[in-house]
């Protein structure tokens, strides 16, 4: 195992059982050179993505904008250490680790490590809340995101053991789309656009 992850697990009390029970896929951090600062979010934090995902994100934001929908990023690339600090914050508030891990991925297993995941919000609505599914941004994404290679990672009742996250979208890219997602993407691809 990655030495840094090993020490993070020790610090947080994450056991090999947690890791084995976990249904998420391991996600590696890209090289720094593969990452790009795309925007500054409303908290003033840099919003960073993998370059290919950044290109697709910009295309998607532009298309949404043409439909008068504002897609606001909240969180993109996140390092293993940042993931650790998110869990630590909840531990300090006295929340049990097993409960935290239904909301926050074990470091090394968050899609945000890959630089391909985006948390999206709509101005005037709370961030990272299920309520996002009632926004016009979510309606637009449900209809259009696959055209840009993005899809919802954790739908309601997902079998990865993660709560429903209507705000969390992952960039697969055309080459990675398979089966149903590909069929859906082709069906939705009324506007032919080459991305990468």
Q: How far apart are CA 14 and CA 38, in angstroms?
A: 33
Residue whose structure tokens are 């998607």: 60
C-alpha torsion sign, points 89, 93, 97, 99: negative
In the bound state, the residue with its beta carbon closest to Zn ion is: 168
From the CB of 104, what's the least distance to Zn ion, in Å? 9
Tell me which stretch binds Zn ion (CB under 5 A): 6-14, 52-60, 165-173, 176-184: 165-173
- 30-38, 62-70, 162-170, 186-194 -> range binding Zn ion (CB under 5 A): 162-170
Choose the stretch contacting Zn ion; rule: CB under 5 A; options: 17-25, 38-46, 63-71, 163-171.
Answer: 163-171
Q: In whole angstroms, how close is the CB of 152 to Zn ion at the nearest point?
A: 11
Identify the CA nearest to 104 among candidates 28, 18, 40, 176: 18
- Cβ nearer to Zn ion, comparing 153 with 182: 153
Contacts of 154 by beta carbon, 8 Å cutoff, 6+ apart:
160, 162, 163, 164, 165, 168
Q: Considering the rule CB under 5 A, would residue 168 count as an interface residue with Zn ion?
A: yes
C-alpha–C-alpha distance, residues 108 and 84, integer Å: 10
Number of chain positions touching Zn ion (CB under 5 A): 2
131 neighbors 125 (Cβ within 8 angstroms): yes
Within 103-132, the residues that bind Zn ion by CB under 5 A are: 119
When the beta carbons of 43 and 68 are compared against Zn ion, the nearer one is 43
Q: Which residues bind Zn ion (CB under 5 A)?
A: 119, 168
């Amino acid at each position: 195992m990655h030495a840094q992850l090993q020490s993070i697990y020790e610090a947080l009390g994450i056991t090999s059982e947690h890791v084995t029970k976990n249904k998420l896929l391991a996600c590696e951090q890209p090289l720094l050179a593969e990452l790009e600062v795309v925007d500054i979010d409303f908290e003033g934090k840099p919003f960073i993505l993998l370059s290919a995902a950044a290109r697709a994100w910009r295309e998607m934001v532009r298309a949404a904008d043409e439909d008068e929908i504002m897609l606001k990023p909240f969180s993109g690339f996140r390092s293993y250490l940042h993931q650790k600090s998110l869990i630590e914050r909840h531990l300090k508030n006295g929340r049990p680790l097993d409960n935290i891990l239904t909301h926050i991925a074990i470091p090394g297993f968050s899609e945000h490590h890959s630089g391909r995941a985006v948390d999206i919000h709509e101005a005037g609505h709370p961030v990272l809340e299920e309520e996002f599914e009632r926004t016009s941004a979510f309606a637009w994404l449900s209809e259009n995101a696959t055209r840009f290679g993005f899809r919802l990672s954790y739908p309601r009742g997902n079998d990865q053991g993660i709560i429903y996250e209507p705000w969390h979208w992952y960039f697969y890219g055309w080459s990675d789309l398979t089966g149903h997602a590909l069929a859906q993407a082709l069906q939705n691809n009324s506007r032919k656009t080459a991305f990468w």
